[in-house]
Amino acid sequence: MADRETARVIVVGGGISGLAATHRLVRAGVSVTLLEASDQLGGLGTFFEREGRTVERFYHCVMPSDEHLLPLLDELGLADTVDWAPTRMGMVVEGERYPFNTAFDLLRFTPLTLVQRVRFGVVSLLLRFLGRGRDLDNLRTEDWLRRLYGDVIWERLFSPMFGSKFGAAFGDVPALYLWQRLGREKNVAVRGYPSGGYESIIDALRAAIEAGGGTVRTGVPVAELSAAADGVAVTLASGERLTADWAISTLPLPTLRAVADEALAPALPTVQLAYQGVVNALFFLRRGLDGHYWAPVLHSGTDFDGVIEMSALNGTHDGLHLAYAMHYCDRTSELYRTDPEEIARRWTAQLLATYPDLLTAEDVVDVRVFTAPFVEPVYPLGYAAAKPSAEVPGTRLLLATTAQIYPDVTSWNSSTGLSNRVVDGLLERLGAEAPARV
């Protein structure tokens, strides 16, 4: 049996999960090859170039509670590059914009009656406490929130907010997800952003992996994966075949199923998990919006259901303000399949209508539309018991994918934590010590 010195490991997927796993294996002295299908590392955290500068396709920020990501940034020498800033939240309901941060904001929030506003405030304050000790994994979010907040607050606020993230099945998602999320996100919260962008994290990980003797290959889609009790074999789209003692797959489960060979497929997790994709437009604006980092957009006749004013966190970009608008949806939905130029046109008009006092058409310098098919797993009730473990029985394939993150929120932090755990389990089998956490 291979030990730490002789084992060869293949990591499939070069998003944060794959990069973090590869980096940790390299630090433990294991021989690793990372295989990434696209020409870029970073997965959902990738970027594009505009006029010589790079910008993230999808908005990302770091939270002070990112207990796994921050130590990784520290190891990479990047912790001090994270600029922290207090951020605030807004809310757009029926085309009207509201600040949504303080008790005073809530008292002036006219989409709810005064009694509803007070109920909203009191229940929200107590929500984490009210969830303690309850079997929230088997309780529908809708049932829990309707009971606590009442029908109107559910229908006017929560239903569109959850529907925007999870689609038609939103009411069925276990209440545990929401409860957990409350621990990560607050309306007024300090958020962070690395001064070199997420690109600087990706570059530093690649450099550290290569400096430690690991191999990183991009532009090499895995076309077939087979795994048995004595090792794994990978066939790339080019026809090249690689073998290893172990593999870690970070692919979304549907993507993994599509590349698993006939022998491996039956051993994969059987849980039928739907995924929400995302349609996301990035606006380059001459003027800023209202300074709210995040604003859900509800009942306002827009295709998007939220706006992230990125520049409220990380400042302007060559003098331009950056704002993202997003809609989470199934990859087979009509919107997802709509021509990006058409989305850019429609969403620009909708953004202008949402901020008519702040923006004119001349202020919109550029719009870029990006989509991703597998972003948020839509968790069924009882998922804590059903979620896949790292091991694929009878094989030397391990899983480190977003389907295992629950009940945590999918993020670079939770993916890093998962990869650390999966790698530590593998190192234990190889008889190696896990690298100390800094």
Ligand X SMILES: Cc1cc2nc3c(=O)[nH]c(=O)nc-3n(C[C@H](O)[C@H](O)[C@H](O)COP(=O)(O)OP(=O)(O)OC[C@H]3O[C@@H](n4cnc5c(N)ncnc54)[C@H](O)[C@@H]3O)c2cc1C
In the set 10, 11, 18, 304, which binds ligand X (CB under 6 A)? Answer: 18
Q: Any contact of residue 372 with ligand X (CB under 6 A)?
A: yes
Beta bridge partners of 346: none
Buried b (16+ CB within 10 A) or exposed e, 406-417: bbbbbbbbbbbb
| C-alpha span between 211 and 41 (Å, rounded) | 17
Q: Rounded to the nearest whole angstrom, what is the least distance from the CB of residue 81 to ligand X in the complex?
A: 16
Interacting residues of 310 by C-beta distance below 8 A, sequence separation 6+: 59, 293, 322, 323, 324
CB 177 within 8 A of CB 188: no
| Closer by beta carbon to ligand X, 315 or else 356 | 315
In the set 206, 296, 412, 422, which binds ligand X (CB under 6 A)? Answer: 412
Select the span of 41-49, 122-130, 200-208, 353-361 touching ligand X (CB under 6 A): 41-49
In the set 164, 300, 395, 402, which binds ligand X (CB under 6 A)? Answer: 402
Q: Any contact of residue 43 with ligand X (CB under 6 A)?
A: yes
| C-alpha span between 269 and 408 (Å, rounded) | 20
| Closer by beta carbon to ligand X, 250 or else 354 | 250
Tokens of 277: 């994709």
Residue number closest to ligand X, CB atom: 43
CB 42 within 8 A of CB 199: yes
Q: Any contact of residue 15 with ligand X (CB under 6 A)?
A: yes
| Closer by beta carbon to ligand X, 43 or else 90 | 43
Pick out residues in 80-109 that bind ligand X (CB under 6 A): none
Q: Rounded to the nearest whole angstrom, what is the least distance from the CB of residue 248 to ligand X in the complex?
A: 11
Rg (CA), the chain: 22
How many residues sit close enough to ligand X to count as binding (CB under 6 A)?
Answer: 36
| C-alpha span between 326 and 282 (Å, rounded) | 9
Residue owning tokens 């480190």: 400
Q: Any contact of residue 293 with ligand X (CB under 6 A)?
A: no
**Torsion, Cα of 246, 249, 253, 258 (10° steps):** -80
Element at 235 (helix H, strand E)? strand 231-236
Interacting residues of 306 by C-beta distance below 8 A, sequence separation 6+: 164, 294, 295, 296, 297, 325, 326
| C-alpha span between 299 and 120 (Å, rounded) | 19
User: Which CA distances in Å does 93 have to 57, 97, 98, 111, 299?
Assistant: 27, 7, 8, 7, 6
Centre a 10 Å sphere on the Cβ of residue 248 and count the other Cβ atoms it contains: 28
| Closer by beta carbon to ligand X, 14 or else 214 | 14
Pick out residues in 245-274 that bind ligand X (CB under 6 A): 250-251, 255, 259
Q: Any contact of residue 38 with ligand X (CB under 6 A)?
A: yes
In the set 280, 314, 354, 416, which binds ligand X (CB under 6 A)? Answer: 280
Q: Any contact of residue 314 with ligand X (CB under 6 A)?
A: no
The site map against ligand X for 45-84 (x = CB under 6 A) is: x------------xxxx-----------------------
In the set 410, 421, 424, 429, which binds ligand X (CB under 6 A)? Answer: 410
The site map against ligand X for 318-347 (x = CB under 6 A) is: --------x---------------------
Under DSSP, is residue 375 helix (H, G, I), strand (E, B) or coil? Answer: strand
In the set 413, 420, 426, 430, which binds ligand X (CB under 6 A)? Answer: 413
Which residues of the chain form contacts with ligand X (CB under 6 A)?
Answer: 12-18, 35-38, 43-45, 58-61, 221-222, 250-251, 255, 259, 278, 280, 326, 372, 375, 401-402, 410-413, 415
